[in-house]
């Protein structure tokens, strides 16, 4: 068992993505995290609600692109304005999290920080709360902690992690060693991972101490680390921050940090969260309904229609006959029809669109 005082937990919610794979509902002006994809609140608002279970508003930070600041303030008015961190440029998650960690370290040196995503779907908030608190105890001792979940199907569009040996328990939660990342496998490998008890989906739900993570940046991303150090000395200078931020390496935190640290520095907490990254229309369909069922939020009439996701604004009737496993999404200015299995390629489709449809 690990012995540690209960550390105060700070939460960073990543909310800057453009969500192109969920086009045409998700747009640059209002990407998927700010949309009501599930229920009556946006995915972002759901993430803030989850964060509130482990942290006060003063300890919740939102990392988002500058174009979404107004949306963040409207949807999460209780988060202090100084806690909304504006990304001056798109430089992927290593730079985004490095900047957020730099800000948190300046305010609470050596504090424990959890990373949540504004566009993830998590059905069991109670389980997440337990895991975050347990992860904070482990992270307080200097470990980089990942909360991972059992696979629900052989996903080829998600990353996986391999479980190492059982290390013991916190007060209530089992913890395991980390044996490596397996990025987006082919279908044969994905089936192998899914059928094994030794592999979990990589959620990207991280918990670590801010000073520990910044030390890993100095070791593994030295160029970015030097830029972040300059930023740390001028946190009120927006011009300098924008310049240094844009000069950081464009790389994800998974590739830039987590795949480069020693395996012994990482600890895994398995969890059952009802988790989905809602990365594609297919993943949304898989999470919310059975394979052969239809997931419909539209004015729809169908004959011999199975396994489809159909969304519309209820003003226009969508009629289907003799179709299977389709994604149909109707918006005022665009209509998407694609095979469910091809939903992961919508990002490439979006690259061909005129600017006015993005």
Mean pLDDT of 189-210: 94
This prediction's pTM: 0.90
Per-residue CA distances from 192 to 147, 198, 245, 274, 282 (Å):
21, 10, 40, 21, 21
Per residue in 49-86, pLDDT tens?
A: 999 999 999 999 999 998 999 999 999 999 999 999 99
- Which of these, 60, 50, 78, lies nearest to 12 by C-alpha position? 60
Strands 295-297 and 275-276: unpaired
**Confidence band for 3, pLDDT divided at 50, 70 and 90:** very low
**Count of residues for the chain?**
358
Per residue in 268-298, pLDDT tens?
A: 999 999 898 888 898 888 878 888 899 999 9
* pLDDT of 5 over the 70 cut: no
More confident: 267 or 171: 267
Per-residue CA distances from 61 to 47, 82, 103 (Å):
11, 9, 10
Instruction: Name the least confident of 39-43, 211-215, 322-326.
Output: 39-43
- Which of these, 181, 303, 233, lies nearest to 294 by C-alpha position? 303
| CA 163 remoteness from chain centre | 21
Whole-angstrom distance, CA of residue 2 vs CA of residue 171? 8
| Domain coordinates in residue numbering, the chain | 9-277, 282-357
Mean pLDDT of 38-46: 90
Per residue in 76-117, pLDDT tens?
A: 999 999 999 999 888 999 999 999 999 999 999 999 999 999
Strands 121-122 and 275-276: antiparallel
DSSP string, 286-353: HHHS-TTS-EEESEEEEEEEES-EEE--SSSEEEEEEEESEEEEEETTEEEEEEGGGGGGHHHHHTTS
Mean pLDDT of 22-31: 89
Per residue in 314-358, pLDDT tens?
A: 889 999 999 999 999 999 999 999 999 898 889 899 989 888 888
Instruction: Give the containing element (helix H, strand E) for 6.
Output: none
CA angle 277, 247, 83 (to 5 degrees): 55
Q: Do residues 184 and 246 touch, judged by C-beta distance below 8 A?
A: no
Per residue in 155-169, pLDDT tens?
A: 888 899 999 999 998
Q: Which two tokens stand for residue 250?
A: 């464009």
Note the pLDDT of residue 218: 97
Average pLDDT score over the chain: 92
Evaluate whether the domain defined by 9-277 bears CATH number 3.90.550.10: yes
Note the pLDDT of residue 1: 39
Note the pLDDT of residue 355: 84
* pLDDT of 4 over the 60 cut: no
- Which of these, 304, 300, 345, lies nearest to 323 by C-alpha position? 304
Whole-angstrom distance, CA of residue 194 vs CA of residue 189? 8
């Amino acid at each position: 068992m690990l012995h540690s005082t209960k550390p105060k937990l700070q939460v960073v919610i990543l909310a800057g993505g453009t969500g192109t794979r969920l086009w045409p509902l998700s747009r640059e002006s209002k990407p998927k995290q700010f949309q009501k994809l599930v229920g009556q609140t946006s995915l972002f608002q759901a993430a803030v609600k989850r964060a509130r279970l482990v942290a006060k508003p003063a300890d919740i930070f939102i990392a988002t692109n500058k174009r979404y600041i107004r949306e963040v303030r409207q949807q999460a008015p209780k988060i202090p304005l100084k806690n909304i961190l504006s990304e001056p440029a798109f430089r992927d998650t290593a730079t985004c999290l490095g900047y957020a960690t730099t800000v948190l370290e300046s305010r609470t040196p050596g504090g424990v920080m959890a990373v949540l995503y504004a566009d993830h779907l998590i059905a069991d908030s109670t389980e997440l709360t337990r895991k975050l608190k347990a992860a904070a105890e482990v992270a307080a001792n200097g470990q980089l902690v990942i909360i991972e979940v059992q696979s629900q199907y052989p996903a080829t569009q998600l990353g996986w992690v391999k479980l190492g040996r059982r290390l013991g328990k916190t007060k209530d939660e089992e913890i395991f060693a980390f044996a490596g990342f397996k990025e987006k496998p082919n279908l044969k490998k994905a089936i192998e991972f899914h059928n094994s008890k030794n592999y979990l989906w990589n959620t990207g739900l991280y918990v670590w101490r801010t000073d520990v993570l910044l030390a890993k940046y100095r070791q593994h991303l030295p160029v970015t680390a030097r830029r972040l150090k300059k930023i740390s000395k001028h946190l009120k200078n927006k011009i300098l921050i924008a310049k240094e931020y844009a000069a950081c390496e464009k790389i994800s935190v998974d590739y830039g940090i987590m795949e480069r640290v020693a395996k012994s520095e990482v600890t895994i907490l398995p969890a059952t969260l009802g988790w989905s990254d809602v990365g594609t229309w297919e993943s949304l369909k898989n999470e919310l309904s059975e394979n052969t069922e239809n997931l419909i939020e539209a004015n729809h009439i169908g004959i011999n229609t199975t396994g489809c996701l159909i969304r519309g604004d209820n003003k226009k009737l969508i009629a289907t006959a003799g179709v299977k496993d389709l994604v149909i999404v109707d918006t005022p200015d665009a209509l998407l029809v694609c095979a469910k299995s091809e939903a992961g390629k919508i990002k490439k489709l979006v690259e061909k669109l005129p600017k006015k449809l993005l």
